Each structure stands twice: as structure tokens, then as C-alpha cells.
Amino acid sequence: MKKLIIFILSFCAIAVLSTWLFPQQEIVLTIREGVPAISVALPPFICEPASPEVQEAASTIHQVLTSDLQYSRVFTLVSKEHLSYIRPLNPKEIFFKDWESIQARLLVVGEFTRSENRSVFEVKIYDVKSQRMILGKRYQVEPGVLRLVAHRVADEMMKLYGEKPIFTTKIVFVSNRDGNDELYMMDYDGASQTRLTFNKWRDYMPAWSPEQRAIVFTSYRAGNPDLYILYPYEGRLVPISTRGTNFAGAFSPDGKKIAFCSTKDGNAEIYVVNVDGTGLRRLTFNSAIDTAPSWSPTGREIVFTSDRSGTPQIYIMDAEGGNVRKVSFGGNYLDSPAWSPDGERIVFVSRVDNFFDLYLLNLKTNKITKLTETGARNESPSWSPDGRHIVFSSNMSGTIQIYSIDYDGSNLRQLTSDGENKLPNWTN
Amino acid sequence: MKKFLVLFLSVILVLSFAASCKKKAKQLPPPPPPQAQEQPKVEKVEEPVIKEPELTEEEIFMKKTLEEINREKPLARIHFDFDKYDIRPDAVPILEANARWLKKFATVKILIEGHCDERGTEEYNLALGEKRAKSTMDYLVSLGISPDRIRIISYGKSQPLDPGHNEEAWAKNRRAEFLIIEK
């Protein structure tokens, strides 16, 4: 008996020690493919007073929340038709059996109230089976933030189920709508497109920091393609690398380092540098083109493109530059790899007969699946923070625009239409 | 008889008219004698033309702005094969001519821009454009041009010469351009 206790204790100690020694193992998330989505009943919100303005505001939040949940792949909505089968919602006295009868697992009760000087949106989320409120939030609603309020609610719901919030995150991209290539950002659904840089030079290849407070990008503003970090909420711009051609910057998952490609030593090589510009380290050493670095979610490895074998192929190396191995096969022009947030997959671009399509390499099974099939140039893929969606640019409609597609190739959506829009980045 | 009378009268009439005309002509004053020798000659008024000595080629060059020189495109662009950055045989005489021009105007500094067609991905193309600019620079250096006079830049596929989406446009867009940035 004593032996057993000691055994159990030492087992626990090893488990604790191993999580302390290898904390990165805890970060790994799994995408629950095939797991049925959580059904949500989203009856119309209650309005107080029931004036047209209040109803319009409440219905905007309702609409945006509806599209968020539909996009999520985590939740499904109970159909409107089913809501008519049961007694209308009474927030004072909820008949949970009614909601259970139409197979709702969650019930979202929203109330929009406007008093003399302020509007408040209150949301309560109930677990129907246990008849318990599992989330309650109140938001002060200023004019112009109705969409954001809905996104906040959707993200709270994502967090309830251990998912990474995506609806309040932004996609940064390049657009020429105002005459030359400038940085812009937008919501996941293409709403709220906002310009970030204002100059007559090309700003190019942006990538977010993990918390979306900083953007690493290439700019020709000083007459040379230099690497900068833009802090859009602080109005700060910091040059990082200014010799040679500097591009394809990517923040490390801890936000402290940047991997990028530079020709500062005469050839396109991959470097890592601290975000303050110190501690520059060169990772690749050969006469081939090495470019397009993307970090693994643990920050221990970097996937990149190299034509050291003759044509551009996908390689993985340690974050210190060692242990280089080729992971792609079967294509003769591959580029733009992006490591999925769960660490299991790499999305990349392959060129076949002048078309570019997106492919997924599953690192566990070593299988490659084709994600797009549009007879166009689909490129620059970037994962959503939760790994369920991929944004990319494509000329499938004639001009180059930004699209989003789910990890299984479904739900293709066009997000931009003004000018030409490319190089979207959602996460690194 | 009557006929005779009419004829007689008309003859008189004609004669008297002729006589009156003669009289008038006699009353005109005689034409004035020529007076040319009394008037001064018309003089041509003009400033003397300053004739500049003929400019040398260098002086003509130095008088122009960089924009004017670049508009004349004294250095012809060269083209590359699909996915390649090595100097093609047809580019050799162009680069030789460019090197001769650069030797003639020895103070000139240039920027070589590497460009790609749209059939490459963004990242790889930016690196490939740089390789094209670099191999162009290396060739000029091998012809005796100092590397201090050359800067390179890559634009990837972002500045196509021909916006088309066919072989002809792609062939045009895979290129190295020469821009004079200092003289």
C-alpha cells in the first residue's frame, strides 16, 4: 500500500516536473474535427423601450452575433422556425424544458436598454440542461460599436469552450485602393476596413504580433525595402533591419523575436532579431534563396521556403537554425508556409500549370490535402487564431482580393472588393 | 438720204468725243522725276548673335536633370527566363553597351531594379527579383564597373511593365531596369 502511494506520488511529481520542464506542451490545442457543434438558441433581443432606434440597434447586434456564431464552426444556431414551436421567451421566467425540446444546449438572452443618457446591452447565457446561467455580461453601448459588442459576446462564448477568441481580432493586409500599396486592417468578416499607413511609398507584407499590438512589415519609404515594426495604437514606427532587401517578417509566438528574410549579407537568408532590434542572428548559410519563415506555435521551430534543392520547397529547422529537414514532396514550386496554431498542420502554396493553390500538410500523418481548386492564383495563406479558418489572396474574380476559407475547404468568402487587396495576415 | 444724215451725225459725234478725250489727257501734269537718291537706305536692326562653342557630350549630359536623362533611357533593360536569374546570351550585348556608357560617364551611379512576373509567389519573387538585380550588377562589375557605383533593389512582381496575363506579358515583366540616381 505504501509502495503504491509512493509510486503515485512520484508519478505526480514527474508529471508536475515535466510540465515545468516542457511548458510548451501545454500550449498544443486540438481542433475538434467531427465533434458536433454546440447548438445555440438566439431568440430576438428584448428592447427597453421598444422604440425603432433601440430595436434597430438590438437587431444589428443580433445579426452580427448570428453571423459570428455561424462562422465559428464551434456553434450552430437553432433555426428560427423552431423558436416558433415554443412559448416566447420570458426573461423573468425561463421555461428551460421548452428550449430543451428544440434541442438548444445554450440559450442566449439579450436585453438592450436605453435610458436618458446611455445604452446598455446585457447578455446572459444559460446552459439549458442544467438551467444555470454560465455567463453574464453588460456592455455600455456607444454609437458605432454595435458590431464590436456582438463580436465581444461571440468571443466570450468561444472562451467558455476553451477556444481562442477570433471575432475581435483583426486581419492586416495590403491595398492599393488609395493609389499605392498601403497597410490596412479589417474584421474577420471584411467589415471596418481601416487604413494604417499614409505615404506614397510601398508598404508591404505585414504580420501581426501575437497580441495584435504591433505589425512587422516591409516599407520602401526610405528608398530601400526595409523592415519596420508599426505600433498602430501608439503611433510609433521602429526600423528593424535596413540593409539589403528585408521582408517576410514574422513575430515569434512569445512576441519577443522576429524571424525575417534579408539579403544584407548578399543573399536571401533567414535571420532572427529581438523586437528592439538587438541580438541579430543568422539562421541559414547557403547560396540558395531561403525565405518566408513561420514559427511553430511552441516557438521552437521555424518552417520556411528554400530552393537549395533546385526549386522552392518547404523545410523545417530549429529556431536556432539547426536540424534542417525538407517536409514537402510532390510539387516543384512551393512557398508561403504558415504553421497552424495547433501545431499539427502547415498550409502552403503550390504552383501547378501557372495556378497557385493552397495545400495542407498534416505533420502527424505526413499527408498533403488540397484546400482550394479555383483555377486562379491563391496565395499568402494565414491562419485564424483558432486554426479553423485561413485567409488568403486570390485573383479568382479577376482582380486580386482577400478571401477566407475553412480548414476543410468549405465556406469560401470574399472579404474585400475596393482596389486590389493582398498579403492578408491574421496570425503568424 | 436719211441714212446718210444719221451716218454723218454719228461720225461728227465720234470725232467730237475723241477730240474732247485728247484735250483731257493734255491737262494731266507731267509725271514727277525720280527722286531715289534723296531717301536713306533702310537699315536692319539686330543684336550680334553669340555663338557658343560646341558642347562636349559630357557637358550636354551634365546640363540635363536626372529625370531628363532617365526619360531618354540611356541604359536598356534586360530580360530573364522563367524562374531564372542568370544572364541570357541576348542580354550580354545590352550589358556591354551599358558598361561602355557607364565608363563614358564615370561619375554616374545607378540603381538596378529586379522584377518578376506574376507566376511567382510574393516572398519567393521578392528574393528572385533581388537575385536578378544582383546577377546584373555582377555582370557589369565583371565588365569593369565599380560596385560602388551600383545599388540594387527588388520589386518582386509588384511593378509589372505589361499588365497582361499571357506569355508575352510575363516575358516582358521578368526584367532588370537601370535607373540613374547620381551623376
* Domains by residue range for chain B, with CATH: 74-182 (3.30.1330.60)
Most B CBs within 10 Å: which of A289, A336, A355, as the mutation test of the B interface?
Answer: A289
Interchain CB distance below 8 Å, A351 and B158: no
Q: Is B118 on the interface with A (CB under 8 A)?
A: yes
Interchain CB distance below 8 Å, B123 and A263: no
Calpha distance A50→A35 (Å, rounded): 39
Q: Is B16 on the interface with A (CB under 8 A)?
A: no
Reading the block at residue B163, the C-alpha cell is 499588365
Res A6 pLDDT > 60: no
Interchain CB distance below 8 Å, B158 and A204: yes
Calpha distance A220→A51 (Å, rounded): 53
What SS3 class is residue A298? coil
Per mean pLDDT, which range of A41-50, B31-40, B132-141 is the poorest? Answer: B31-40
Q: Is A270 on the interface with B (CB under 8 A)?
A: no
Task: Please return the burial class of A404, using the count of CB atoms within 10 Å of its CB with bins 0-12, 13-18 and 19+.
Answer: buried
Write the residue in A204, A268, A336 that is nearest to B127 by C-beta.
A268
Q: Is A242 on the interface with B (CB under 8 A)?
A: no
CA dihedral A199, A202, A206, A211 (to 10 degrees): -10
Q: In this structure, is the dihedral angle defined by the CA atoms of residues A225, A229, A232 and A237, taken in order, positive or negative?
A: negative
Q: Is A247 on the interface with B (CB under 8 A)?
A: yes
Instruction: State the Rg of chain A over Cα.
Output: 24
Q: Which residues of chain B neighbour A268 with C-beta distances below 8 Å?
A: 127, 130-131
Q: Is B109 on the interface with A (CB under 8 A)?
A: no
Positions of E strands within A141-245: 171-175, 182-186, 194-195, 203-208, 215-219, 226-231, 236-241
What pLDDT does residue B34 have? 62
What SS3 class is residue A28? coil
Q: Is A263 on the interface with B (CB under 8 A)?
A: yes
Calpha distance A304→A324 (Å, rounded): 10
The interface predicted TM-score (ipTM) is 0.84
Across the A:B interface, residue pairs with CB atoms under 8 Å apart total 73
CA proximity to A388, closest of A127, A25, A30: A30
Interchain CB distance below 8 Å, B127 and A380: no
What pLDDT does residue A22 have? 43
Span A90-114, mean pLDDT? 93
Q: Which residue has the higher pLDDT, A48 or A170?
A: A170
Res B4 pLDDT > 90: no
Are the C-beta atoms of B49 and B76 separated by less than 8 Å?
no
Span A316-338, mean pLDDT? 95
Residue with cell 503504491: A4
Q: Which residue has the higher pLDDT, B53 or A299?
A: A299
Chain A, 377 to 396: residues with Cβ < 8 Å from chain B are 377, 379-380
Per mean pLDDT, which range of A156-170, A202-216, B55-69, B84-98 is the poorest? Answer: B55-69
Sheet of A246-251, strands arranged across? A246-251, A257-262, A269-274, A281-282
What pLDDT does residue A35 have? 64
Q: Is A137 on the interface with B (CB under 8 A)?
A: no
Span A273-288, mean pLDDT? 95
Reading the block at residue B109, the C-alpha cell is 551611379
Q: How sure is the predictor about B18, in pLDDT bands with cuts at 50, 70 and 90?
A: low
CA atoms within 13 A on the CB side of A152: 16
Reading the block at residue A167, the C-alpha cell is 471575432
Interchain CB distance below 8 Å, B126 and A247: yes
Q: Which residues of chain A neighbour B119 with C-beta distances below 8 Å?
A: 351, 354, 377
Q: Which tens digit of pLDDT belongs to each residue from A10-26?
A: 544 444 444 444 444 33
Chain A, 71 to 100: residues with Cβ < 8 Å from chain B are none
Q: Which tens digit of pLDDT belongs to each residue from B72-127?
A: 999 999 999 999 999 999 999 999 999 999 999 999 999 999 999 999 999 999 99
Q: In this structure, is the dihedral angle defined by the CA atoms of residues A15, A20, A22 and A27, taken in order, positive or negative?
A: positive
Q: Is B107 on the interface with A (CB under 8 A)?
A: no
Q: Which residues of chain A neighbour B122 with C-beta distances below 8 Å?
A: 205, 336, 379-380, 422-423
What pLDDT does residue A16 have? 44
Res A350 pLDDT > 90: yes
What pLDDT does residue B55 have? 82
Interchain CB distance below 8 Å, B130 and A247: no
CA distances from A216 to A219, A247, A312, A425 (A): 10, 9, 24, 11
Q: How sure is the predictor about B5, in pLDDT bands with cuts at 50, 70 and 90?
A: low
Are the C-beta atoms of B183 and B102 separated by less than 8 Å?
no
Span A2-8, mean pLDDT? 52
Residue with cell 455580461: A137
Most B CBs within 10 Å: which of A246, A291, A378, as the mutation test of the B interface?
Answer: A291
What SS3 class is residue B148? helix
Calpha distance B95→B76 (Å, rounded): 8
Q: Is B131 on the interface with A (CB under 8 A)?
A: yes
What pLDDT does residue A32 have? 46
Write the residue in A224, A349, A380 that is nearest to B153 by C-beta.
A224
Q: Which residue has the higher pLDDT, B14 or B180?
A: B180
What pLDDT does residue A420 have? 96
DSSP lists the bridge partners of residue A262 as A246, A269
CA distances from B172 to B79, B80, B157, B175, B176 (A): 7, 9, 12, 7, 10
Q: Which residues of chain B neighbour A311 with C-beta distances below 8 Å?
A: 83
Q: How sure is the predictor about B44, in pLDDT bands with cuts at 50, 70 and 90?
A: confident
Q: Which tens digit of pLDDT belongs to each residue from B134-168?
A: 999 999 999 999 999 999 999 999 999 999 999 99
Q: Is B128 on the interface with A (CB under 8 A)?
A: yes
Q: How sure is the predictor about A372, in pLDDT bands with cuts at 50, 70 and 90?
A: very high
Mean pLDDT of the residues in chain A: 91
Write the residue in B83, B119, B121 that is nearest to A336 by C-beta.
B121
Q: Which tens digit of pLDDT belongs to each residue from B50-69?
A: 887 788 888 888 889 999 99
